Amino acid sequence: MYAIGLVLVLVATINAGKHDQYSGYSVHGVKLRDDSDKVFITELTDSLDLDVWQDGVAGARDALVMLDPNSRLAVLDELDARGIQHYLHLRDVAQAFETHDEQINQWKQSRSGRLVPFNDYPRYAEVDAYLETIAAQYPELVTLVNAGQSYEGRDIKYLKISTTNFTDTSKPIYFMDAMIHAREWVTTPTALFSIHRLVEDLRDQDRDLLEDIDWIILPITNPDGYEFSHDDTRLWRRTRSINLEVSDTCFGVDGNRNFDVNWNTTGVSQDPCSQTYPGTSAFSEPETRILRDIFDEYIDRMEIFMNIHSHGNWVLYGFGNETLPPNAIHLHLVGAAMGAAMDAMKLPEADWYKVGNSAMILYGTSGSAQDYGQLVGVPLSYTLELPSYGFDFRVPPEYIEHINRETWEGIAVTARLARTTFRARQ
């Protein structure tokens, strides 16, 4: 009996899919007609703690909402009762992620020997090794900084790239970070590619970017969440901090709601299980404190900040409460130049970039990195949402190379404009 039981357990283990927790889950596109539909959807998804894969914008972009098998019919009935149109975007989330894993495996195999971390979905250890290697190979140009540890004790590292070792105060600093939201896997490659293009593969036409600007590039802000999204829960977005007084089942907070700017006001949920839970206080998370300290240390010369996310083709600026910063016209101009540079290279299947105040064109937020950067004095502080070509968090690896090149063009344009605005302020 025991032997048979053991065999059955083994078989079950082998057959168990990696993404079984999403078995039977589906994702639905929801068409919003106006702002009251938007409010309705927000209240519905908040009250049921549904995972919104993509926020909708009336008349412009459908919301994508994940539904579990138990509540699916009730939710769709509510939409029908209100006359809101919806459609099936993904029939089976578990199956969709199995397929994506398979695509990634095939990509790795087909590229073996030629695989570089910026053309792949690299794990934390691979990114770490890349940063260490670059710093060791280019000591005159690159300084590796270990900025501190994540909640679970992973080192959070960034590179400083400078032809003058950050000593020339006439240069602006460009700060970019990626992967504050763990499931947005395609963000880290773009940060790594920027390192590659500045250090390993500097082109003549980009020499001014290296010589005139100091760069701070942090490819994985939330390493705990990122590793957890690989090992356990593919759709993990938040940090991994445990606070048993708040919840003994739901861990972590939304890092991009945890900064000390209008904290715990707009676009947050009090439910510790929600994807937009802002934490027990601003900067409760070591990961957001590390970004805070980088702003603090370099604010005198930091002209531009790019907080990289996926997905949606947006270049967004503050504030998340709909109040525009005093330099909003310039923020818009530089953001639009970035969007246009990326659109000039867009694939036919990609959306056009949209540029604007994050609350006016997308949704209200508080405690975001974008707003914190703006508040503490970075003149050009942005959220960038990369393209997904309709694949949401499952961007096929074949697209990474294109996203990297296209995004680099956008970054280059913003860097040159930031150089100009910085000089004008001197």
Ligand X SMILES: *[C@@H]1O[C@H](CO)[C@@H](O)[C@H](O)[C@H]1NC(C)=O
- The residues that are catalytic are 385
By beta-carbon proximity to ligand X, the closer residue of 174 and 319 is 319
Residue 288 found at the interface with ligand X (CB under 6 A): no
Tell me how many residues contact ligand X (CB under 6 A). Answer: 12
Residue 284 found at the interface with ligand X (CB under 6 A): no
By beta-carbon proximity to ligand X, the closer residue of 284 and 310 is 284
By beta-carbon proximity to ligand X, the closer residue of 229 and 366 is 366
For ligand X, which residue of 48, 94, 104, 375 counts as binding (CB under 6 A)? 375
Residue 139 found at the interface with ligand X (CB under 6 A): yes
The helix (run of H) or strand (run of E) holding residue 2 is: helix 2-15
Q: What residues form DSSP beta bridges with 87? A: 29
By beta-carbon proximity to ligand X, the closer residue of 187 and 366 is 366
d(CA 379, CA 417): 12
Q: Which stretch binds ligand X (CB under 6 A): 148-156, 214-222, 286-294, 315-323?
A: 315-323
The helix (run of H) or strand (run of E) holding residue 86 is: strand 86-90
CA 199 to chain centre: 23
All residues at 6 or more sequence positions from 124 whose CB lies less than 8 Å from its CB, including other chains: 154, 220, 223, 226, 227
- Tell me how long the chain is: 426
Residue 331 found at the interface with ligand X (CB under 6 A): no
Residue 264 found at the interface with ligand X (CB under 6 A): yes
Q: Which stretch binds ligand X (CB under 6 A): 38-46, 71-79, 95-103, 319-327?
A: 319-327
For ligand X, which residue of 283, 319, 353, 399 counts as binding (CB under 6 A)? 319
CB count in 10 Å sphere of residue 153: 9
For ligand X, which residue of 45, 258, 262, 357 counts as binding (CB under 6 A)? 262
d(CA 237, CA 250): 12
Nearest one of 152, 149, 114, 343 to 236, comparing CA atoms: 152
For ligand X, which residue of 71, 110, 165, 420 counts as binding (CB under 6 A)? 165
CA 272 to chain centre: 20
DSSP string, 342-386: HHTT--TTSPPPEEEEHHHHT---SS-HHHHHHHHT-SEEEEEEE
d(CA 407, CA 190): 7
Residue 140 found at the interface with ligand X (CB under 6 A): yes
CB of 362 to ligand X, least distance (A): 16
CB of 204 to ligand X, least distance (A): 24
The CA angle 109-192-229, to the nearest 5 degrees, is 65
Residue 23 found at the interface with ligand X (CB under 6 A): no
Residue 241 found at the interface with ligand X (CB under 6 A): no
By beta-carbon proximity to ligand X, the closer residue of 57 and 268 is 268
CB of 145 to ligand X, least distance (A): 10
By beta-carbon proximity to ligand X, the closer residue of 32 and 378 is 378
Q: Strands 354-357, 314-317: parallel, antiparallel or unpaired by DSSP? A: parallel
Helical H segments across 16-92, by residue range: 35-47, 72-81
Token pair, residue 23, equals 């078995």
Q: Which stretch binds ligand X (CB under 6 A): 67-75, 83-91, 317-325, 326-334?
A: 317-325
By beta-carbon proximity to ligand X, the closer residue of 149 and 321 is 321
CB of 377 to ligand X, least distance (A): 12
Chain positions contacting ligand X, by CB under 6 A:
139-140, 165, 261-262, 264, 270, 280, 319, 321, 323, 375
